[in-house]
């Protein structure tokens, strides 16, 4: 039994001074300050001056993802440990069905990578790399038997993960019937491939051309098309991943204004980083920030619009799209040809801090901070109320956040398996102080007390966030 005493508990409805009693792996009770059990034969954690928040839920990670001739550099061991350091206590990673592969085989491979290796709890979405009669049947099985209730499709990456509109519609109809969520990588891949080829023919090989060949219009068009297709599939629940551009956000907002079950997430990189300052860094340096969707121009309104979208709930979730690659030997695969740079940024350790900086900057309320990083992802993907909230009966996944301390991000101090940081030098006016995962204190006093294998696979239910 552990009593967390003297802190301010933050939930999606606001802040309350309260003491939290943890018994075993769960929250047992929440008391008015000082009204809990008197000190005795149990541990007390002093949370005076700290925010007590639910462990964060990162609904979009790619540990060990095969991509661009290499693999994302974090394993489930290194990636979930780094997540824990940063206050994330659940990840939802993407299991992959490659084109031609049986869905259940792809899922089994992902279980094989993760089982026994995770430091925090984990769940899976399923990437469908080939929509056909078999994989459509498998969608039902995954929902009913495997606790996998969301499926990612790609309008980008022809020849790799791409689905055409007919395949997308069929998967959406299936999801409409079995209650699953369709997650969409919304970029017009065939059109992007034309622009990439033309750029390379002109000798434009630097990393910035990754962004210039993936213009906002092709994200907005795909987002709009996905929304229309979901409408044809009788308002199949649709979740746009890694939304980066103002005009894509407009499409989502318009659908939501009509009462549609259309949702979207953004990621910290789109809230802070830009095409010019990062992707356009001199020489090949910009490769560190090659990700898709790409970073957008600082001369347009994207970042301000995304922060506003988080306030209005047109953006409901902040995930990381954690997909780390080392600079040496991995990002370097694209020297002389930006299209060969593996796509991805590593941030799983930093999302709680980077979004807290939004609170400090007056862009988000404390309640909205917790809602976008923990409560809504848990609700969106069928983990609530076990995850995403501090309430009696919930898992004791709890973070003590210290608003009086500071965090400086960099490769010397981070725990991700990366030889650089996309966030080098970023300073946050706050710090993850203590992290508890299912009742076990895994980070405290700057030391790590967790362990590989503590994290368990969590079967998810259907979304409880639908309108
Ligand atoms: N985008 C990335 O940046 N990396 C992996 C896959 C994706 O869609
Ligand atoms: Zn994607
Ligand atoms: Zn992704």
| pLDDT tens column, 109-122 | 999 999 999 999 99
C-alpha–C-alpha distance, residues 279 and 240, integer Å: 23
CA separation (Å) from 273 to 100, 233, 289, 314? 37, 36, 9, 21
Which pLDDT value is given to residue 426?
97
Output the six-digit token pair for 19: 């003491």
C-alpha–C-alpha distance, residues 54 and 32, integer Å: 18
34 burial via Cβ count (<10 Å: 0-12, 13-18, 19+): exposed
User: Ligand 1: which residue has its CA nearest to atom 7?
Assistant: 292
Which pLDDT value is given to residue 288?
98
Per-residue burial over 45-69, b = 16 or more CB atoms within 10 Å of its CB, e = otherwise: bebeebbbbbbbbbbbbbbbbebbe
- Confidence band, pLDDT 50/70/90 cuts, at residue 40: confident
Ligand 1 pocket residue status of 293, Cβ below 6 Å: no
Distance in Å, CA 338 to ligand 2 centroid: 18
Ligand 1 pocket residue status of 292, Cβ below 6 Å: yes
Ligand 1 pocket residue status of 323, Cβ below 6 Å: yes
Report pLDDT digits (tens) over 431-464.
999 999 999 999 999 999 999 999 999 999 999 9
C-alpha–C-alpha distance, residues 248 and 297, integer Å: 14
Ligand 1 pocket residue status of 62, Cβ below 6 Å: yes
Count Cα neighbours of 238 within 13 Å in the Cβ-side half-sphere: 36
Question: Residue 344 pLDDT > 80, yes or no?
Answer: yes
Which pLDDT value is given to residue 454?
98
Ligand 1 pocket residue status of 97, Cβ below 6 Å: no
SS3 of 103, please?
Answer: helix
Mean pLDDT for all residues in the chain? 98
Which pLDDT value is given to residue 297?
98
Question: Residue 39 pLDDT > 90, yes or no?
Answer: no
Ligand 1 pocket residue status of 422, Cβ below 6 Å: no
Place of tokens 């987002």: 223
What's the residue count for the chain? 467
Q: Is the peptide bond before 355 cis (omega within 30 degrees of 0)?
A: no
Report pLDDT digits (tens) over 267-326.
999 999 999 999 999 999 999 999 999 999 999 999 999 999 999 999 999 999 999 999
Report pLDDT digits (tens) over 374-425.
999 999 999 999 999 999 999 999 999 999 999 999 999 999 999 999 999 9
SS3 of 25, please?
Answer: coil
Ligand 1 pocket residue status of 343, Cβ below 6 Å: yes
Report pLDDT digits (tens) over 209-265.
999 999 999 999 999 999 999 999 999 999 999 999 999 999 999 999 999 999 999
Report pLDDT digits (tens) over 67-82.
999 999 999 999 999 9
> CB-based contacts of 279: which residues, under 8 Å, 6+ apart?
207, 208, 210, 211, 273, 286, 289, 290, 294, 295
Distance in Å, CA 345 to ligand 3 centroid: 10
User: Which of 62, 68, 70, 265 for a ligand 1 pocket mutation test, highest count of atoms within 8 Å of Cβ?
Assistant: 62
- Confidence band, pLDDT 50/70/90 cuts, at residue 41: confident
Which pLDDT value is given to residue 224?
98
C-alpha–C-alpha distance, residues 428 and 406, integer Å: 6
Which pLDDT value is given to residue 120?
98
DSSP state of 292: S
Report pLDDT digits (tens) over 168-210.
999 999 999 999 999 999 999 999 999 999 999 999 999 999 9
Distance in Å, CA 264 to ligand 2 centroid: 12
Report pLDDT digits (tens) over 105-160.
999 999 999 999 999 999 999 999 989 999 999 999 999 999 999 999 999 999 99
Which pLDDT value is given to residue 279?
98
């Amino acid at each position: 039994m552990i009593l967390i005493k003297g802190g301010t508990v933050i939930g999606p409805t606001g802040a309350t001074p309260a003491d939290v009693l943890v018994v075993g792996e769960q929250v047992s009770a929440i008391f008015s300050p000082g009204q809990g059990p008197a000190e005795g034969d149990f541990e007390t954690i002093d949370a005076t001056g700290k925010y007590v928040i639910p462990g964060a839920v990162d609904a979009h990670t790619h540990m060990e993802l095969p991509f661009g001739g290499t693999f994302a550099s974090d394993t489930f061991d290194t990636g979930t440990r780094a997540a824990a350091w940063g206050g994330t206590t659940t990840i939802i990673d993407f299991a992959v069905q490659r084109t031609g592969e049986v869905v259940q085989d792809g899922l089994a491979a992902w279980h094989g990578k993760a089982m026994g290796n995770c430091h925090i709890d984990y769940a899976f979405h399923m990437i469908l790399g080939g929509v056909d009669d078999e994989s459509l049947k498998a969608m039902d099985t995954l929902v009913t038997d495997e606790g996998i209730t969301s499926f990612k499709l790609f309008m980008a990456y022809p020849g790799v993960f791409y689905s055409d509109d007919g395949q997308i519609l069929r998967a959406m109809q299936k999801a409409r019937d079995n209650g699953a969520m369709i997650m969409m990588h919304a970029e017009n891949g065939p059109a992007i491939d034309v622009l990439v080829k033309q750029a390379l023919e002109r000798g434009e090989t630097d990393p910035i051309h990754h962004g210039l060949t993936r213009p906002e219009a092709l994200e907005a068009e795909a987002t709009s098309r996905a929304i229309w297709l979901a409408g044809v599939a009788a308002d199949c629940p649709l979740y746009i991943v890694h939304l980066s551009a103002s005009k894509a956000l407009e499409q989502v907002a318009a659908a939501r204004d009509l009462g549609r079950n259309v949702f979207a997430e953004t990621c910290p990189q789109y809230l802070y980083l830009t095409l010019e300052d990062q992707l356009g860094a001199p020489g090949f340096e910009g490769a560190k920030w090659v990700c898709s969707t790409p970073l957008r121009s600082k001369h347009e309104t994207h970042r301000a619009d995304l922060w506003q979208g988080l306030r209005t709930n047109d953006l409901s979730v902040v995930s990381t799209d954690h997909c780390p690659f080392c600079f040496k030997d991995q990002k370097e695969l694209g020297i002389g040809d930006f299209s060969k740079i593996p796509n991805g940024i590593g941030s799983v350790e930093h999302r709680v801090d980077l979004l807290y900086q939004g609170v400090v900057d007056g862009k988000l309320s404390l309640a909205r901070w917790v809602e976008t990083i923990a409560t809504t992802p848990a609700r969106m993907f069928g983990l609530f109320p076990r995850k995403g909230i501090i309430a009696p009966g919930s898992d004791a996944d709890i973070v003590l956040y210290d608003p009086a301390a500071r965090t400086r991000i960099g490769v010397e101090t981070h725990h991700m398996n990366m030889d650089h940081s996309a966030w080098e030098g970023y300073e946050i006016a706050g710090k993850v102080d203590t992290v508890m995962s299912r009742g076990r204190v895994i980070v405290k006093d700057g030391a790590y007390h967790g362990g590989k294998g503590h994290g368990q696979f969590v079967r998810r239910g259907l979304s409880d966030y639908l309108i």
